[in-house]
Chains A and B, each alone.
Chain A
């Protein structure tokens, strides 16, 4: 069975600081994709970043980067220079075949 675990239900960070959200997953598959999605209070889910499991290089999108440790099945999200607009629920997701598996989310609050 595929599972995704986000062990931090809530986190906070000071504006302009850096924060890391953790995610671990469990799978016996070798080909898969990993994602971080952001859901602001308005509820529209937005893709933040994606990572192909076959790529060793960590994905980066502006202030967002991941630390992908395939052997450890870990996929953390680092947000640099946190902004007030980063306040949202963040979901880690895992895709294998044609089905997504989501973690329970981490609620991030950026404090001015």
Chain B
């Protein structure tokens, strides 16, 4: 099975711009979570989607949004970029978080975003 894929792998943007990141989960996985990783903060949870519904959202401003499509692919959007948004954005998929059946997340390689 192919792993979790994320595109693009690297992005350079300027302040005020917006960006969209994409994540394709492992085939058959319906849950997709997004994390922001920075050296000082570790992994910060952004949101989790299951069957096109956002079930959980972390403590991030409304500039961060996401969605999930019927094929479980997910996108994350950040509007009005700020310097502090520079980070590695990780996507993780699982069969069905919270179902008690398969509770392991598998991570993609991440998208490295640099805001200038």
Contact = CB atoms under 8 A, between A and B. Distances in A.
Is B a genuine binding partner of A?
Answer: yes
Interface residues of B, number: 24
Contact of B103 (A37, A95, A104): A95
A98 B42 contact: no
Contacts of A103: 42
Contact of A50 (B50, B92, B104): B104
A47 B45 contact: no
Nearest to A89: B42
Nearest to B107: A45
Contacts, number: 51
B58 to A, nearest CB: 9
Interface residues of A, number: 20
22 contacts: A43-B88, A43-B109, A43-B110, A44-B109, A44-B110, A45-B107, A46-B107, A50-B103, A91-B42, A97-B97, A97-B98, A98-B50, A98-B55, A99-B33, A99-B48, A99-B56, A100-B33, A100-B45, A100-B105, A101-B45, A103-B42, A104-B41
Interface of B: 31, 33, 35, 41-43, 45, 48, 50, 55-56, 88, 90, 92, 97-98, 103-110
